[in-house]
Amino acid sequence: APGHRDEARVERLGAHRLPESLEAALVALEADGEVRSWFPDDLWQCYLAHKRYEIEQLEGLDFDEQCARYRMVY
C-alpha cells in the first residue's frame, strides 16, 4: 500500500522522506554542497531570497488562502 513503508527496506535503499515544507526544502538545499556547486553565487543568493520572501508572504494564511495566492501568481 502507498502509505505502508518497510523501514528496513527503506534504510537498505538509502531512501528518505522528501521535505514537507518549503522551509524544510530550503534547509536541505542549502546543506547540499553538490547542488550548491551547480549555481553561480548571484543566482543562488537570489533564489534563496525569493523563496524566503515567498515563505514570509504565506505565513499565517490557511491552505485555501495560500492556494489563492499561488493562483494569482502562476
Measured distance CA(6)–CA(25) in Å, rounded: 24
- Give me 4's grid cell: 505502508
pLDDT band at 3 (very low <50, low <70, confident <90, very high): low
**Residue-averaged pLDDT of the chain:** 91
- C-alpha cell at position 41: 553565487
Higher pLDDT, 1 or 69: 69
Question: How much is the average pLDDT of 4-12?
Answer: 80
pLDDT digit string (tens) for 30-63?
999 999 999 999 999 999 999 999 999 999 999 9
Report the pLDDT value the prediction gives residue 22, as an integer from 0 to 100: 94
- CA 16 – CA 36 distance, rounded (Å): 20
Angle at 43 between CA 40 and CA 49, to 5 degrees: 135
- Buried-state track 47-65, b at ≥16 Cβ within 10 A, e below 16: eeeeeeeeeeeeeeeeeee
